[in-house]
Structure 1
Amino acid sequence: MRNRSRLPAYGLAVLANALALLVSIAARSVPAPAIALLLVTAVLASAWVGGLGPGLLSTVLVGFMVAFSGLPSASVSTSPAGNLLLPVLFVALGAGVSIACGARKRAEAGRRESEARFRALFGAEMVGIAFCDRETVREANDAFLDLMGYSREALDAGGFRWRETAPDDRYLDERGLRELIATGRCTPFEKEHLRVDGSRVTLHVGAVLIQRQPLRWVCFAVDLTERKKLPQVGQLLATELDVRKIAQGATDAATLLTGARFGAFFAGGVDTRGQHALSALSGAPREVFGRVGLPRSTALFGPTLIGGKVVRLDDVTQDPRYGQTAPHFGMPRGHLPLRSYLAVPVIARTGAVHGALLLGHPETGTFTERDERIVVELARHAAVALDNTGRHSELENALREEQLARTAASERARLEALGAEVGMALTLPEDRRAVLERCAEAMVRHLDAGLARIWTFDAEEGGLELQASAGVSARLDAGDARQPAGRSEMSLVVTQRRPLVIHPVDGDPRIHDPEWARQEGLVAFAGYPLLVDDRLVGLMAVFARTPFPAAAAERMTAIAATIAHGLERRRREDEGSGLLAREREARAAAEAASASKDEFLTRLGHELRHPLAAIRDVLAVRCDEADRVRVLDIARRQVDQVVGLVDDLRDLADTTQGTIELHKERVSLARVVERGLQRARPPLEDGDPVLSVSLPPECIELDADPVRLEQMVASLLEGVARDSEPGSRIEILVEREGEEAVLRVRNPEMAEGRHRDLGLGPTVVRKLVELHGGRLELQEDGQGRGAEVVVRLPALARAEVEMEREIGRTRVLLVDDNLDAANGLAMLLGLLGHEVQIVNDGPAALAAARTNAPDVALVDIGLPGMDGYAVAKRIRERSGKKVMLVALTGYGSEEDRQRALAAGFDYHLVKPVDLDTLEGLVAGLGKPSSLH
């Protein structure tokens, strides 16, 4: 291209030389100097116009003409050497002229190129350039004027001050000016400049010195405002957790920074109509797009919303995808004018497309590569913000689920504790009002209730009678004590016979006094009918300060049923008490008539003991030595039977007169049976019966006098054994039936009718059973043989027993090589609520103590191999005082006890072990902190 542009210059050189030659030939009479001047002019013209190349070409051509045509040579020199010298000198002169003209030509071209570059830079829109003196801007391009906020007219009128810097950054101008004067240049720096309208613009400025006197310099400035805005917008988006606000913020920023007429944010997913949802709109009212007919999604959206590509079009109508979507096949009616189009995807960290920023302008070619970079950066910030929002939502959901699970577990625990407390309250030996008051207080405490009340229902009068109230005291007025069933929200519960839960109570027409509920801060009401076999016996109602948990409905229904059955049981007990009172009145005369007989029997019992004791002593003295042992044994057994008969007579008299006092406490029925067996063992050994004892896996506990119950069990066993054949089988069974503890004593081989002649023992037993609130039953198998005595006593509620067992549970390690003895003792300890592990030798005991960390270790001294002393020493060395060691031995001397204590045992018990003593050690002292 450049070589072709220089061809005319070479042509001009050839033409000039040809013209000079023609003139020389045509005018032979022209003097030689004139011809030489003409040739020099041709060379000079070629070099001046064309530069070095055309000048040299012209010089060479002139040299040839001079050398071969002889135009000026005749007049210059007549010698051959002179004729040769002239062309050489001419060529040298032409070459010098050509070189000089070429250098001038190149200098002019460089100057013009530099001027063009400066003019291009001066007219650039991105860089502001100004020529300044010490105070004023003398000349500036349009970009600099836009940055300063001044017009060209203001500049032409005399310039303006360049020192309009923000007060905090003025020191930067002074420092830069000093550096400019000292070094000739100013290191670029960043500052904030105050525009004419008072707004601020962030600039990156630098300067170069032109002359010192007077001071002239050129300033360069670049606008950093938009570049600063992008991180600020990104920070704002990053702190936002609302998806719509993120989309709106990104759309507003993109529309503002690119100068778009309008902007939109479309979601990446599609709705049920297959359309991308419009999440945000900027630059136009949302109603504008609301009027645009569907579908709004077009083929232009696909590359961005589906493919994740950036699309920038100078004229959207010229794109082949435009107008391909039915039914509009172009711009939908009502759409904003659109020619320039810029679409940037918002891509998640996973690669999925959150959505797209779509920008439009009615003019063509509006969006530049710079605008694209700005929107891409905004989309990146928006994607990070949306990712954070999604992650935050996931964490919130996880935390919410965890909180709900914890809350549900806490609510279940509270409701279970409420049920247990209500169940325990109903078993207390208090009057009905006191028991129900405990139940109401428990509901207030466990349900965060403001008020809890329990009514009983009077079927005859059809009204409710308040029995218990807990919580808000301001409402305990006399008018609430008795009220008709049709009054207040309770009427719905009474009439419909089903639970009623109201939340919120404020504004609900079913609430009788909503103003009171509002003042007390009560938001929820729950009423439950107290039903027994579909018969209404009362009502339970709760006003709470917080909504009832979802799990409360089922549990509260169960609690209402528990209270209802408790009320029914007490009603029956009250009716039974009335019947007993009338029966006592009817029997008063008969009892008065037998009073003298009872007194006589009592005196008889006391008087008979003395002569019987004397008889026993006489027999012991007067027997021969040979027969002494046998006679003493026979006499002692007979006397013991007489003493037992006398004791029965005395107990019968005390029972009939009502002078027996019961000392009740919580006792285990299994323990009572075991103690009764020990008490009846001597009489049982005479008949040598085969005993079969069956105890339940659960602990059945009673509120009873343990001494009287042991007497009752022993009397039953003695009576059955006395009327049984030697060696016969006696079965003892303990079990729970509903709310009753049942003891069965059975002899399958007893002849029919023999159990009816059990003497005074069963009479005393029956009285003792009745005093404990139970009953005694005598049954036959219907085949003529086999009899069964059944004792039924009221048992404590399971929830109360389980709670006590959990509190008092102790881990016990039992070490004994006698399997039968170990299993029997373990069974009794287990029934008392303790956790028992059995091992049969020393090494197994050490291993169990190491792995299970027992609270108490019961160790038999006479173990095979490693004896109990060695086991105690090893356990004490490993566990220290963390475990209580109890020695079980058949040797009870002081020396044996001291040896056991020296070996590390805490206690020394002699076999057979007394159950009371052992239970006291295990249950009362089973924890290391209470041993010493």
Structure 2
Amino acid sequence: MAAMGLDLLCEGIAFSLMRGLDPAQSRWRYRLVLGLVFLMELAYTVPCLMIWQQHLPFAKALAVGLVSMTLFQLTTVRAIHLPFGMAGWLAVAATTLLGNGWYWLSHDDLAGFTVSTLGVVGAIIYTLGAMRSNHALHLEISRRGDEADAGNRAKGLFLAQMSHELRTPLNAILGMGEAELASTDDPGTKDRMQTLVASARGLALMLDDILEMSGLDETGLPIRPVTSAPQQVIATTVALFRPAFATAGLRLTLTCAADLPPAALLDPQRLRQCLSNLLSNALKFTETGGATVHVSYLPQAELLQIDVADTGSGIAAHETERAFQPFQRGSRVQSGSGLGLAISRGLARQMGGDLLLLPSAQGALFRLTLRIEPQAACPAPVPSAPLDLSGRQILVVDDIATNRLVAATYLRRLAATVAEAATGDAALAAIRTNRPDLVLLDMNMPGLSGLQTLAQIRALPGPPLPVLAMTADAAANDRARYLAAGLDGYLAKPLTLEAVTAALAAHLRLTA
């Protein structure tokens, strides 16, 4: 009992001392813990030797079993931190050798002493080798884990940098293309500009897909449920694809069950995203016929179920799971990033549902489910009117002239007065000279960065000035990071007229 009490006492003190222990900073604590580990194993093995001295038939078997358990613990648990294992190993080795020698020599049995000592030494040496091997294995696993973490961090940095570098020229292509499309009446020019704008938007979606896939690998994408009309969300999404299907000579039909809830708590943006990926997939792989979308509701499970079936080439049974792997685009060469189905499945599972590929006699049949909470009704929509920024001055701050040109083009289409600045210092001077109503501020500029410029804007006298980030930083956490830093809003490049209009309407207290 005394040995057991000593063992528990040493273990309790050791655990207390190990909390937050840094061996390099607290060497005395570390040495004390090693001493306590030695005493713990000593307090455990000494009773084993006392049992060994007994002449009862089961005594020696029990003692050997207890010592074997101790050696097993040293090789599996203590060996993770080798000095702890060595401290315990020394206690067991010394106690076992001394106790074994005392027993056989006290009985004048030299042969027993020799044979048993060889066995004990062999077990001790084997335990030491196993401890060292296990420790090396743990170090290798830890090293590979660190390398994997470093690789993930490098991947994230690469994706963020790639996105940033591509969004800057894409902002100019999309912005100037939309401006030209809005200003021209020539049918040929309109066709060319529509192709240009559609291609630029497609590239922007690919960038979003890549960044969102990274987000799914890490912590998942944000789900923001609001009270929405499921049938309306689905119908408007399908309507967006009708022109593309018609151009390809395909039909697109939508049927909705009569018992669909008129309103439900769901994330309409993520629902549109998942359904858009399925319709885009159907459009790519269907040459004749078309696609059908059937929507139903499973009240017992509170699941919204959407079946998207097409008459395309279909997917072989052995490729079912491969279709949901990132960067897989089917057996034919098709446009796109190959991420849509993987992202959609991840989003569906985040929303309490799933995305499955079901057997089909012709083409592919995807079933999208997501959990919804039926509500009494949707909030009444706020009446909207075209945004008119007459008399409002907006300061656009960006070190790249094309980015300033794109933003200014959108703002002038909204009748705003536009001032421009290429640096943070120039922006501060412009604000002091002629205070604007709102600032669109790039986050990555030479000299004063966006956040440094923001800090100096906040220090200027006068009422608070709305400052919106206008940035190519578009990773999943960038929006939250910039809003937490004190910015009033966030616009990701490439800019669109819709995004600019919504942001300005919200922050200038206007009706859009």
TM-score, structure 2 as length reference: 0.36
Normalized per residue, the structure richer in helix is: 2
Higher relative contact order, structure no. (Cα contacts within 8 Å, ≥ 6 residues apart): 2
Normalized per residue, the structure richer in strand is: 1
TM-score, structure 1 as length reference: 0.21
